[in-house]
Amino acid sequence: MEKELQEVFQKAKYEIDSDLPLNIWQKMVKRNKRINRTRLWVFSSMGILSFGGALPVFKILLNDVAQSGFYEYLSLVFSSNSPALSYPKEFFFLIAESLPTTSIVLSLSLIFILFLSLKYLTREIIKNQLLLSY
């Protein structure tokens, strides 16, 4: 019965449209290209925006660092009878406290976003190149 039923099933198989496999492949490539193009736009925009934002944020950071007295504290490290050597722990905390935290966090976030978008952008460009060849 096993073999006979197998034959019956094979015999009654529906014939597929001969174009169906190619149509599926083409639709998949098209769909994937569209998704990749969208990603490309999103990551490029993110990259441009973060790069554009990085310039004023760096200016603010430099300004904040200059105003915080960080440079003055830092110069003490190189002076003779440096308090940095006598009281290293206290000096480290003093320097750390003088840092403009908000501007630093903001700048680092922007750098992170910039590199992240560059990474994904490169990946998408490579992917697109591969797909465009089909």
Instruction: Please report whether residue 130 would count as binding other proteins according to CB under 8 A.
Output: yes
Residue 88 CA to residue 82 CA, distance in Å, equals 10
Query: Residues 32, 131: contact at Cβ < 8 Å?
Result: yes
CA angle 85/77/67 to nearest 5° reads: 135
Query: Residues 121, 38: contact at Cβ < 8 Å?
Result: no
**Shortest approach of other proteins to residue 131 CB, angstroms?**
7
The one segment of 13-21, 69-77, 104-112, 113-121 that binds other proteins by CB under 8 A = 13-21
Residue 131 CA to residue 129 CA, distance in Å, equals 5
Instruction: Please report whether residue 129 would count as binding other proteins according to CB under 8 A.
Output: no
Query: Residues 115, 62: contact at Cβ < 8 Å?
Result: no
Which member of 30, 31, 34, 37 binds other proteins (CB under 8 A)?
31
Nearer to other proteins (CB atom), residue 31 or residue 59: 31
The one segment of 16-24, 55-63, 78-86, 88-96 that binds other proteins by CB under 8 A = 16-24
Q: What residues line the site for other proteins (CB under 8 A)?
A: 1-2, 4-6, 8-14, 16-17, 20-21, 23-25, 27-28, 31-32, 130-131, 134
